[in-house]
Amino acid sequence: MAEESLETDGHRSSMPAELCHPHSKYSQWKFKLFRLKSMEKAPLPTEARPEDGAVSGIPPPAATNIEVDNGMGSESVMKLCLGGKSKEIVEGPGQRVDAKLQEMDTHMNKLRCLCRLCGMTLGTAKGPVRDVNGDLDEVSKGALRKMGCKFTSWPEVVLKVFKVDVKEDTESLHPLSFCHRCWVVIIRGGGFCSFSRTRVPEWKPHSSTCDLCSPRKASFQRTRRKRRKAIPRAQSLAKRIRRDPGDCIVVGERKALRPFGDNHQGPMVRAQEKVSIQREHWVKNITHCQTDHLNTQLISEKLPVDFLHSFTCLVCDHLLSDPVQSPCRHLFCRSCIVKYNRVLGPQCPACNMSCAVDELALPAKAFLSALHSLSLLCPRSGCGKQFSLDSFKAHCQGHDLDEQDDKQRSPELDNYLQTNKGGRPRQHLLSLTRRAQKHRLRDMKNQLKVFADKEEGGDLRSVCQTLFLLALRSGNEHRRADELEAMMQGRGFQLHPAVCLAIRVNTFLSCSQYHKMYRTVKATSGRQIFQPLNTLRAAEKGLLPGFHQFEWQPALKNVSTSCTVGIINGLSGWASSVDDFPADTITRRFRYDVALVSALRDLEEDILEGLRESGMEDSACTSGFNVMIKESCDGMGDVSEKHGGGPPVPEKVVRFSFTVMSVSVLADEEAEEVTIFTEPKPNSELSCKPLCLMFVDESNHETLTAVLGPIVAERNAMKESRLILSVGGLPRSFRFHFRGTGYDEKMVREVEGLEASGSTYVCTLCDSTRAQASKNMVLHSITRSHEENLDRYELWRTNPFSESVDELRDRVKGISAKPFMETQPTLDALHCEIGNATEFYKIFQDEIGEVYQKVNPTREERRSWRAALDKQLRTKMKLKPVMRMNGNYARRLMTQEVVEVICELVPSEERREALRELMRLYIQMKPVWRATCPARECPDQLCRYSFNSHRFADLLSTTFKYRYNGKITNYLHKTLAHVPEIIERDGSIGAWASEGNESANKLFRRFRKMNARQSKAFELEDVLKHHWLYTSKYLQKFMEAHKDSAKALQATIDPEASQDCENIFSSLEVNDF
């Protein structure tokens, strides 16, 4: 009878009879489940019955020597205890049903019928049901977009409307859908708020007093009537099968079913089949491993039952797959025990002890070897071979799955094997796809891998190349064999990956364009000259931030110690703005310290070369390095694509970048610092490294403050620490000094909290008003600083003296917002030149129209003067008029030749001489604040700058008094009053300008066109990545080193056409890029 029931139950005959409660070892559900007092005091199977039964008239059982087997062995390792009572004593041998699993299944079925948000039944609300963790459908997304909500998934919308986080919901605790009524509430609130009184219920784990499985009637509570006790046969328990008393026999004092006879075997088997199918269904809902794990029926030998149970998972009853051992030394499949603990709690299914996932360990090696050596029978029809467990998968994959075998293979093998998509075997190998080729050559690949691991130290590539080389030699293809051998020995014709990466970045080739070039050259020449894209991606990892290891001493405050941080979201850590609305911007950036580390490693060769040129010993200079950083930030204006419809609102972008200006070192025995590296081109786009890109208007003070706030915090933390970085094989200590000088007038006023450029307070360096600056144009000094601006903002915010608006504005000197970024008080040379050129352009118009003799000229007269000026410049100087002054136009306009051409339109000779003198003085002053090092490049002009500025100011206040009576432009004031003081303090103005950041604006548009994608976030990441690679000195040096090999490269491709294509490859120089 035991054998028949075992065959009937199948491979799940050893499924557990009970599962423990997930929350407490001594929980109360087992005492309340049956609500029978006699069962609460039932003894263990091995103990004797108490004498209470004898007193009450119930005779005790005679003996336990006769067992009724229903397919479960008495020594089953899956037997669990239920409050000290075995399943046989509580329910009898005919109903060994796992009550806990059945309760959970019933509970989960009821949860699926309820709404997650309001708790009502889904059928009561007419309309579609939506998944609470799914994505927004098109109808909902369109409705929410019209109301300003840009979320894409329901969890985000539910969190905003109902203040409930549903991302961590579990199937055993929460419903997974919400009703149409709650959907209407979300749509009416626009995805931001709720206008209804919907209260989200608190979902609790299932217990014996679960309100969902045993609901309480509200009418009982209102009338205060005594509530009935629950029926002992709980709703979650299976109904007893009604049998005829004639089907039982008496054994001692117990009744049992007849184990023999045709008339009595059917009902018993059907009951067992029902229990087994029910148990299998419950476990399937938890583990979902039926298609992944192997059945015990595949074992070819007839092993003892107890021995077979030791290799069976105690949850799913399959052969152990990736076995793990609990602290109580029970064995499970790793995936099964993880899913089981997730649903029913961190306890062992076999002994009810605590068993967390992190406490699981691997079994002993002897057990694993015995498990892998089990002999399994191949279920494929016609095979009949036996294999060990570790080689069973390889044998199943080795079957040829053609159309005939597809129909004959068993369902278990169909679930276990991978689908063959390698194409028809009759096709030639070279005509197959790459995936089909891998499938065809899998056996040979495994053999080669085994040989390479055994004989060649795992160098599979060398083994394959050697085989190909021998095949070429045997076919008398010695030319190709020589090329392959040269390539294997490092003498091949391939370009270095860094050269290929530099070619792609500097020529702005997209992935598809570069791959097309790679395939074309390979097909034309028959050689792989350019590297494939995967090699380029591997090469660029070492050049991007987040690759090198470093350490800060002491550790940076509020900054992670992780070194492998790449491109991050600029809004990370910032949930909402001041108005509690999500940030309507997209920003991507590098972490500041990680970017500085990558920039220093890019300068490793320059730093070591500077140490050698200074005569300093490399090993002695491990500390005392000081790095000077120039920071730049400026808006790029509208960068939206103009073709097609385009966005209705202009896309404005702000870029924050930095430049490593110099590296100096103070040796232990030296008294002064020695500069070992100085940036030769500080105003080039090749040296200005991008740090942050953001879609935001530069005049948006709140968003700009929130996005640049983390960068400011990281910079302040780095000022108080020192970097330990390996340079030249030795750990060295670096300290950083930051200067925020690459800002134009508008950005300085934005980050320092000043009023706009048209304010009464004309200067960002001193406190003078526009009227004071026009009366005294030269004698001013720098008085503003970041700390003083912060103090003045506090006065503006608090108004401690209760002054009026005008009095308070005069006290704070134009401070109207909170300064959030420290800037260096200096002059931006690029925008100063553009501003002065704009002013000279207006002076030329006024002199042509003789405004000094007229009081209020009309607008038509001014238009005619400007048209005459533009025509003269276009005719004589080839200067086309521009809508807005730019750097190139300003440089060509501010020359003595232009003044001579314009003087032809000025009627008075006296005014002509005044114009010539004004331009001459300006041309002598300009090199002082434009030169990188004025003391070395223009010492004479530097000495005469004060005299020239006084003479220039006298001309403006006398000859051109009509224009500068009580007013003066911002940049003219800074040029005349503050240039000598800034140069005396910093040594230069032109080197600290924002020209590098400005000249990189065109790079953003080109890189954006190169990396055009659907998502702006990914597009911004690609632009930031390729812009960083564009500024890499490592790639620039590789291009310089390999530009002379263009002829050899072309001769390799086509020796006859090498002369014709020489000009093409000569265009790969860095300067042309």
- The DSSP H or E segment spanning 537 is helix 533-541
pTM of the model: 0.55
Q: What is the mean pLDDT of residues 967-981?
A: 92
Who wins on pLDDT, 621 or 220? 621
Q: Give the model confidence (pLDDT) of 315-338 as tens digits.
A: 888 888 889 999 898 999 988 888
Average pLDDT over residues 395-402: 61
pLDDT confidence band for 216 (50 / 70 / 90):
low
Write down the H helix ranges in 112-223. Answer: 138-146, 154-162, 180-188, 218-223
Angle (CA) 287-104-38 rounded to 5° is 125
What per-residue confidence (pLDDT) applies to 19? 40
pLDDT (mean) for 221-250: 45
Residue 412: partners with Cβ closer than 8 Å, 6 or more residues away: 294, 295, 298, 379
Per-residue pLDDT band for 5 (boundaries 50, 70, 90) equals very low
Contact between residue 707 and residue 587 where contact means Cβ atoms under 8 Å apart: yes
In this prediction, residue 193 carries a pLDDT of 76
H, E, C per residue of 408-420: HCCHHHHHHCCCC
User: For residue 941, what pLDDT band results from cuts at 50, 70 and 90?
Assistant: very high
- As beta bridge partners, residue 739 has 630
223 backbone φψ class: left, alpha, beta (φ>0; ψ -120 to 50) = alpha
pLDDT at 863 (0 to 100): 93
Q: What secondary structure, in 3-state letters, does 343-390 show? A: HHCCECCCCCCECCHHHCECCCHHHHHHHHCCEEECCCCCCCCEEEHH
Q: What percent of the chain has a predicted confidence (pLDDT) above 90? A: 26
**Is-contact 777 957, C-beta < 8 A?**
yes
CA separation for the pair 916, 936 (Å, rounded) = 28
d(CA 611, CA 620): 10
Question: In 3-state terms, what secondary structure has residue 662?
Answer: strand
Task: Give the other-Cβ count within 10 Å of 659's Cβ.
Answer: 26
Closest CA to 662 of 600, 724, 595, 605: 600
Q: Is the pLDDT of residue 87 over 60?
A: no
Alpha carbon distance, N-terminus to C-terminus of the chain = 87
Cβ-proximal residues to 96 (8 Å cutoff; 6+ apart), any chain: 17, 70, 72, 87, 88, 275
C-alpha to C-alpha distance for 67 and 69, rounded to whole angstroms:
6
pLDDT at 1071 over 50: no
For residue 636, give the H/E element and its range: strand 625-638
The Cα-based distances of 766 to 174, 807, 889, 970 in angstroms read: 64, 19, 30, 11
When the pLDDT of each residue in the chain is averaged and rounded to a whole number, the result is: 77
Residue 176 phi/psi, 5° resolution?
A: -105, 5
- Rounded to 5 degrees, φ, ψ at 347 are -140, 155
Three-state DSSP state, 138: helix
pLDDT of residue 641: 65
Tokens of 808: 């308070």
Cβ proximity of 505 and 540 under 8 Å: no
* Assigned token pair, 1072: 């042309």
pLDDT for 23 beyond 50: no
Q: How far apart are CA 332 and CA 316, in angstroms?
A: 8
Name which residue leads in pLDDT, 207 or 953: 953
Sign of CA pseudo-dihedral 476, 480, 485, 491:
positive
CA–CA separation, 579 vs 706, rounded Å? 13
Task: Report whether 1024 contacts 716 (CB < 8 A).
Answer: no
For the chain, give me the number of helices (H) and strands (E)? 47, 17
Neighbours of 961 (CB within 10 A): 13
Q: What is the pLDDT of residue 898?
A: 94
Q: Give the C-alpha separation, 476 to 48, whole Å.
A: 91
Q: What is the pLDDT of residues 449-465, one digit of tens each?
A: 888 887 777 788 888 88
Contact 656, 629 (CB under 8 A): no
Q: Of 99, 87, 90, 76, which is closest to residue 21 (Cα–Cα)?
A: 99
Tell me: pLDDT of 1051 over 50: no
pLDDT digits (tens, 9 = 90+) for 478-517: 777 777 776 666 555 577 888 889 888 888 888 888 999 8
Is the Cβ–Cβ distance between 1026 and 1010 less than 8 Å?
Answer: yes
Of 349-358, 428-437, 742-751, 998-1007, where does mean pLDDT reach its minimum? 428-437
Other C-beta atoms within 10 Å of 767: how many? 15
Stretch (H or E) spanning 637:
strand 625-638
Q: What is the pLDDT of residue 185?
A: 86
What's the average model confidence in pLDDT over 1040-1048? 54
- Orientation of helix 389-397 relative to helix 365-372, angle to 10°: 40
Residue, of 1065 and 1001, whose pLDDT is higher: 1001
Task: Give the number of other CB atoms < 10 A from CB of residue 121.
Answer: 12
Q: Which residues contact 304 (CB under 8 A, 6 or more apart)?
A: none
670, two tokens: 């030296």
The answer to whether 1004 touches 655, Cβ cutoff 8 Å, is yes
Residue 537 one-letter amino acid = R
Confidence of residue 980 (pLDDT cuts 50, 70, 90): very high
Q: How far is the C-alpha of 725 from the C-alpha of 641, rounded, in Å? A: 42
Q: Which helix (H) or strand (E) holds 658?
A: strand 652-665
Beta strands 730-742; 625-638: pairing state: parallel
- Average confidence (pLDDT) over 900-918: 93
Instruction: Say what the alpha-carbon torsion angle 517, 519, 520, 523 is, to the nearest 10 degrees.
Output: 160
CA dist., res. 832 & res. 995, Å (int): 11
List residues bridging with 325 in a β-sheet: 331, 361
Query: pLDDT tens-digit profile of 817-876?
Result: 989 888 988 988 888 999 999 999 999 999 999 998 887 889 999 999 999 999 999 999
